[in-house]
Structure 1
Amino acid sequence: MFKGLGDMGDLSKMMEAAQQMQTKMTEMQEGLARLTVVGEAGAGLVKATATAKGELTALEIAPSIFVASEKEVVEDLILAAIKDAQRRASDKAAQEMARLTREMGLPADMKLPF
């Protein structure tokens, strides 16, 4: 289509590649919003569910830990479960980003979006 235009053909290919990358990034972001991870603390007594984008969506607390004298322990377990879910979400997002860069033939250590 751009034969005979010299470097303009290369520019067209670069623009097309950038458009494809943007589309794939959007799809990945939407996928991260649908993926969920579960963080836990206290051997599963407290579980926090989050999307792979880090949005907390649920919190599950075993009734057995509701003892007034253990209030601070429960609070600590809740925080620990949330932090675990956030860490797992971050790890999952990094895995998905690495997969995307691999599929696009980009260097594994390349940070996207730019």
Structure 2
Amino acid sequence: MAKGFNMGGMNRNQMMAQARKMQEQLLAAQQKASETEVTASAGGGSVKVTATGDMRITSLTIDPEAVDPEDVEMLQDMVLAAVNDALSSAEQMASQQMSALTGGLNIPGLF
């Protein structure tokens, strides 16, 4: 059996070590994203939603003055808008963190 092949000056052991290091960095970035929160609001701040980089809603706040029994649809629309904005911001934040680590490479399944 050959003693490791040479790919651009790297032997197999160096490549494996580098792959392990990158995997550890990716896991750390995923952990950081899951702990980082973003907040979005709708209706002039009447509805606020906080989400993490792993797409979990951690907080939903509704100003009591936004609750109008005669116009539930508006409140529903504000909640929906705030949730969608928070999730979009969380996804963008996580993508930026991963892109910084991967040098802009799009690696499927990371986020």
Matched residue type, 2:5: D
> What is residue 7 of structure 1 aligned with on the other side?
5
Q: What secondary structure sits across from 1:7 in the alignment?
A: coil
Q: What secondary structure sits across from 2:106 in the alignment?
A: coil
TM-score (norm 1): 0.84
Q: RMSD over aligned Cα, in angstroms?
A: 1.9
Structure 1 position 110 matched with structure 2 position 87: no
Q: CA deviation at 1:86?
A: 0.3
**Quick one: percent identity of the two aligned structures?**
31
TM-score (norm 2): 0.86
Structure 1 unaligned spans of 5+: 103-107
Change (3 A) 1:12 1:112: farther
Count of matched residue pairs? 106
Q: What secondary structure sits across from 2:50 in the alignment?
A: strand
Matched residue type, 2:105: D
> What is residue 17 of structure 1 aligned with on the other side?
18
Q: CA deviation at 1:38?
A: 0.5
